[in-house]
């Protein structure tokens, strides 16, 4: 089970002066940052993999594939990993 981290909120001036450190935390600790400007959330910094995952989840074609897969699973048409590897 993957552990989800809570986003860390920081002002833009901190992000600007500590960008190298922030990027290290994103890469090594999978940290996520919400950047504020004048106290309002303005942007986020997160890992490229997390970003790809978000885009994938928003893709209508991917969502349709998930629906079909869930329907097949419920109908008992899913293969076990062992069977799928046997070809």
Q: Which residues of 18-41 are buried (b: 16+ CB within 10 A; e: fewer)?
A: eeeebeebbeeeebbbebbeeeee
- Could you tell me which residue, 53 or 24, shows the higher pLDDT? 24
Arch. (CATH architecture) of 1-46: 3-Layer(aba) Sandwich (3.40)
Centroid of chain to Cα 53: 5
pLDDT of residue 19: 97
pLDDT of residue 37: 97
Mean predicted confidence (pLDDT) in 62-80: 82
pLDDT of residue 87: 54
pLDDT of residue 1: 41
Domain ranges of the chain: 1-46, 47-78
Pairing of strands 8-11, 33-37: parallel
pLDDT of residue 67: 85
């Amino acid at each position: 089970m993957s552990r989800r981290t809570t986003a860390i909120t920081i002002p833009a001036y901190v992000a600007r002066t500590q960008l190298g450190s922030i990027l290290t935390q994103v890469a090594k600790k999978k940290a996520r940052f919400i950047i504020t400007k004048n106290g309002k959330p303005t942007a986020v910094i997160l890992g490229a993999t997390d970003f790809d995952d978000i885009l994938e989840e928003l893709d209508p074609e991917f969502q349709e594939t998930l629906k079909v897969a869930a329907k097949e699973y419920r109908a008992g048409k899913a293969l076990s990993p062992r069977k799928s590897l046997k070809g």
